[in-house]
Amino acid sequence: MANQAILVPQISSVPAHEAVAGRMLRWLIHKNIVDSQATTCGLAGNRMAYCIAEGARRVVEHPERLPFGQAVNGLQIITKRCIFTPAKGFLEEAGCPHCRREVGEPLFESLDEWFPGDTDNFMCPLCGFEDDINGFLFLQPCGFSNLGFIFNGWGEAVFKPAFVAAFAERLDFKVRAVTVELE
């Protein structure tokens, strides 16, 4: 089974997102978490990704589950607006942080406006609270952003909370870790 660990900034539109992606990649290379040369070790698109490096063992709870020696093991950076959800079994359930009521169906229907960039926000149809779509409560971790870091094959290894916190601090935005199981 293929899996991914994805780190997603909790903001729909990261300012200067391509420059931020480059800065984060340089930091991951400096920490020896990924290699500096892109190869075909990715899963999506042209499969170009940054191969897993030895330092990856320090940032996960289960280093023995990292995909060393596997054909798919690299970091792919997404720099276009994307919805990052667990592919298998995603329930599409969300709540309003203000009134605490279920708003999943209308929220996910609003993605037709969010995806092309018409808006970053969602307004609760029950109480009128409005915020970036990432500010709403989700039953399962997911993210909506123009920037995402997909670590192919790293899902079962589970990022350490300290690494996610350091990544968020370096990125200068809160980050959500999304684990994806692919079929």
Please provide residue 158's backbone torsions phi and psi, each rounded to the nearest 5 degrees.
60, 115
Q: Give all strands (DSSP E) within the chain, no chain letters.
A: 3-9, 34-39, 49-52, 75-78, 82-84, 94-95, 121-123, 130-132, 137-138, 143-145, 148-152, 175-181
DSSP code for 102? B
pTM above 0.75, yes or no: yes
In angstroms, rounded to a whole number, what is the distance separating the alpha carbons of residues 79 and 145?
Answer: 9
**pLDDT tier for residue 178 given thresholds of 50, 70 and 90:** very high
pLDDT tens readout for residues 63-122: 999 999 999 999 999 999 999 998 788 888 999 999 999 999 999 999 999 999 999 999
